[in-house]
Amino acid sequence: DVRKAVFNVNVDVITEDEAIRGLLVAPGEHVAFVGAGVSREAGIPLAAEICTRIRESGARDLGLEGRDDEWARTKLSWDDAARRYGSCLESLGTNEDRVSYFRELNKGCRPSFSHHALTLLMSHDKLHRNALTTNFDKLIEQSFMEQNIRECQAIRMFDEGAYWGPELDKCYLLKLHGDYDTHNILNTFNETRLIASFFVDLARELLRSRGLIALGSAGNEESIQRFLE
């Protein structure tokens, strides 16, 4: 075993085999935390790829191709890894512009093997029937529809929190950064500094005495670090 400091707390780093054994001996008692890496397999670009696309298209629009370094530093916070993604998205314009951008990115994408695997594990109570995600695509929900074993209820905003949890034959997906269907995508720097407090309350209840398994998430966002703390 290896000891490692995570958020100033020492934790044991275990092997994949040990993690799988932990899931097998406590079926349904681990909650999945799903990040952007899971959707990459389905063709949705990661944050770094989105930033590069926005920089290239912006440079073309401004006639700065090949000489856009200063513009990228000042307008896109290119040298600040913590702010770059949010600054790139802010450059797209209004919230509606960003919703349209992400709808276009998602167009034609289908759930990947990972989405279907997650759906099957949740539907058969191998993982807990609730999952957390920072993704605002609908690929997990689509995989539930295609598998047609259990329904999946997305919780994306405060009003929907009233529908969380009571139906034991249903799975729930807590979308911490919103959803492009409800026009509450959270991805600029200021928007993602904190997770909405009602999500913190739901997650605290959900995770009590349970494990958390992170899939495709680096946990770099300030809001996610505060959320886990």
Q: Look at residue 222 in the predicted model and tell me its pLDDT.
A: 72
Q: What is the mean pLDDT of residues 32-46?
A: 90
What is this structure's pTM? 0.82
Q: What is the mean pLDDT of residues 133-150?
A: 93
The percent helix, strand, coil of the chain (3-state, each to 5) is 45, 15, 40
| DSSP assigned state of 20 | H
Amino acid at 39: S
Q: Look at residue 116 in the predicted model and tell me its pLDDT.
A: 96
Q: Which residue has the higher pLDDT, 194 or 138?
A: 138
Q: How far apart, in whole angstroms, are the C-alpha atoms of residue 68 and residue 66? A: 6
Q: What is the pLDDT of residues 195-224, one digit of tens each?
A: 788 888 899 999 999 988 989 887 767 777
Q: How far apart, in whole angstroms, are the C-alpha atoms of residue 155 and residue 205? A: 15
Q: How far apart, in whole angstroms, are the C-alpha atoms of residue 217 and residue 9? A: 19
Give first-to-last CA distance, the chain, whole Å.
23
Which residues have a Cβ under 8 Å from the Cβ of 103 and sit 6 or more positions away? Answer: 180
| DSSP assigned state of 80 | -
